[in-house]
Amino acid sequence: MFRSASPIKNKADFAASLLAWHKRHGRHDLPWQGTRDAYRIWVAEIMLQQTQVAAVIPYYRRFLERFPDIATLADAPQDEVLRLWSGLGYYSRARNLQRAAQLVAEHHGGVFPRALDEIEALPGIGRSTAAAIAAFAHGTRAAILDGNVKRVLARHFAVAGFPGEKRVEMRLWQIAEEQLPLRAIARYTQAMMDLGATLCTRARPACSDCPIAQSCQALALGRVRDFPAPRPAKVVPTRATHMLLLIRGGEVLLEKRPPSGIWGGLWSLPELADGARARAHCRTNYGCSIAAPQVLAPLAHGFTHFKLIIQPLLCRVEKLTPGAREAGQMWLSLEEAHGAAIPVPVRKLLERLLSQSCRWSRGRGRSTAAGA
């Protein structure tokens, strides 16, 4: 027999319980806290989309060290922005971040806008992110609805259905707005985020420590794990590609990806669908005559909507036509390429080569010493 949830007498009780809990148990030492600088808050909120806090912290610090303000970000080469973003994934966030900085410089005198509608009009900023920026920077009374908050509200108010469905999302927005307190909006917003990230987690919710457990309807029903409903099952397709590791005197060829689409604007390894055409492809597109390609161990990389199987081919250049390099292509040492604005799987492939190169160098050193 399940207990009954104690009804919330008014929304002030909900907020007061969260604020009291957050004062003692919430997160207070994150690098983007303790500031009212809308730029710094904005960068953090964009990085935190689809990415966990622990992964974001080092990227956030490096990014702000290089781009301390809107003007610096707006004027930077896109390659440098993407290089500092490389590894965070969802690279459209970085491109939108820079484009938005340029629009703020152009239309707002370099000052991040204060009005919600003006914030939301910037590329890469949706309703929830705009509300979070405004709440933390200015105390604006606006509701957020990120993944953590959706989970908290869906459980507490037993909202059935997958939050990605329009009907369910609209109901959660309604609840989020109804529960907003009149004051302490920034602290309340952070408390909601922290509750979902630390206690009301997806897999192992710590209901015994929850400050609003007494009024949680999902807990009263004994169905905490049923809310929110999971994403409807969907078969994730698999795609395949060949990546060419064109090696010439310790250098590898990288080429620029198109500005939009997967890994848009990043530097990557040349790709082709049919590995059997590698030699002809290299001759036609890169002016390279190569030895027979060496098939390396494949690499799998997951995206939100599909899985990519990468078959790397090690192609040693025997001859390079003078002046064959095209725009959007560059030869870099393995170390320089590893530090460029490249996708994660390309970095992994280069790390394999660097590791093999180090083992080969050590082996050669031992052989030299033995023969001395």
Report the catalytic residues. 45
In one letter, which amino acid is 72? T
Length of the chain in terms of residues written: 372
- Cα–Cα distances (Å) from 312 to 77, 105, 167, 296, 315, in that order, read 30, 43, 45, 5, 9
DSSP 48-73: HTTS-HHHHHHHHHHHHHH--SHHHH
- Cα–Cα distances (Å) from 278 to 71, 268, 270, 330, in that order, read 44, 16, 10, 19
| Bond prior to 228 in cis (omega within 30° of 0) | yes
Strands 267-268 and 271-272 come out as unpaired
Q: Are 59 and 49 in contact (CB under 8 A)?
A: no
Phi-psi group of 112: left, alpha or beta (phi > 0 → left; psi -120 to 50 → alpha; rest → beta): beta
Q: Are 46 and 85 in contact (CB under 8 A)?
A: no
